[in-house]
Every structure is written in C-alpha cells, then in structure tokens.
Amino acid sequence: MKAALDALDHANQARGAKPAQSDPRQQAVKTLRYPGTPSAAREMAHRLSGMDSDWDFTAGLVGSPAREAALVEMKKSSGRFQFSRN
C-alpha cells in the first residue's frame, strides 16, 4: 500500500494521456480500492477531492467492510469541502 500512496502523492499525470498508456496513479487508485482494510478505507475517504479518482474511491468505500474507519476519516475532513445542494 505504501507504493500506492507514494504514487498518488507524487504522480503528475499529464491530462489527455491515451488510455492504453500505463498510468501509475490509476494503478495506485485501484490498489486502494480493493483491499477492504481499515487503512485503505481511511485513505480513500481522506483522498476524496473532486478529482477523477473519486469514482473509484467512492465505489471502494461503498463495497468496503471497513466503512466505520472511512466514516471517522470523513468526519475529520468534513470542513475541507463544500458541496452544493441543488
């Protein structure tokens, strides 16, 4: 998991890259999405940011057996984002 977190922290993928190209950031997102561990759930909740990886993080949180860990992290981060209510 450390390698995945490092890739997410340091990847500067150029926009417009071809989907067939290997994307270390996308591989790191998938690494966090599937383990179902409390640490992965906390990281996904912490990294929700309105970016393209949010879909994978949200799906990972929905399917995670460690939802409580994610909820605790989301509560800590609740002031970080403003969501519009339509």
In a structure prediction context, what are the per-residue pLDDT tens digits for the chain, which is 86 residues long?
Answer: 787 777 777 764 444 455 545 678 888 888 888 888 899 998 888 888 777 888 898 899 988 999 888 888 888 876 665 555 55
Under a CB-based contact definition with an 8 Å cutoff, are residues 49 and 79 in contact?
A: no
Has this prediction a pTM greater than 0.95?
no
Residue 63 lies in a domain: yes
Structural domain contains residue 66: yes
Task: Give me 55's structure tokens.
Answer: 């879909």
Q: Is residue 27 domain-resident?
A: no
Q: What is the domain extent for residue 73?
A: 38-78
Q: Give a three-class secondary structure readout of 10-78.
A: HCCCCCCCCCCCCCHHHHHHHHHHCCCCHHHHHHHHHHCCCCCCHHHHHHHHHHCCCHHHHHHHHHHCC
